[in-house]
Amino acid sequence: MSKKIVSLKVNGKAVEEAVEPRTLLVHFLREKMNLTGAHIGCETSHCGACTVDIDGQSVKSCTHLTVQCEGSEVKTVEGLANGGVLHALQEGFYKEHGLQCGFCTPGMLMRAYRLLQDNPNPTEAQVRVGMSGNLCRCTGYQNIVKAVLHAAATLQQSQTATA
């Protein structure tokens, strides 16, 4: 099968890579980019462990072809922290005990990131609906919701402080 050259940005870095047209984005990120945060869970888009952000949308990378990302900006969980400083969501998951085994956490963080980009001040009900496409087998979700709300409050405070 002939390879195609794909140009995209991953976590702000320009990337140009030859890929087989059938290469799933999750495999490209893990195997070519060595970004292993997006986990391969169900491979059917049901669990959300592979969630990344593409051009301002949450996308489950296990069912998205890399060639579909031509010219796109992809953000993975590795792109959340800034210069070694945790993103408010990462800090929220830590402080509110929003994880147990951690398998779903990267996908949860990326879905929550997009949720807060689209709705910076969500209610608990909005967080629950917004996160409903990502599954966790360990936590019962209560602390995940708390973590997202904690991050929303932190981000609101930092915006108020800089305004």
Q: What is the CATH number of the domain that holds 148?
A: 1.10.150.120
pTM: predicted TM-score of the whole model, two decimal places: 0.94
Residues 107 and 71 in one domain: no
Q: How far apart are alpha carbons 128 and 143 in whole angstroms? A: 11
Q: How far apart are alpha carbons 27 and 67 in whole angstroms? A: 12
Predicted pLDDT of residue 140:
80
DSSP state, residue 78:
G
CATH number, domain with residue 66 = 3.10.20.30
Domain tally, the chain: 2
Per-residue pLDDT of the chain (163 residues; tens, 9 = 90+): 799 999 999 999 999 999 999 999 999 999 999 999 999 998 888 999 999 999 999 999 999 999 999 999 999 999 999 999 999 999 999 999 999 999 999 999 999 999 999 999 999 999 999 999 999 988 889 999 999 999 999 999 988 887 6
Q: How far apart are alpha carbons 65 and 17 in whole angstroms? A: 14
Residue 65, domain member (yes or no): yes
Q: How far apart are alpha carbons 52 and 38 in whole angstroms? A: 7
Residue 83, domain member (yes or no): no
Domain that holds residue 9: 4-78
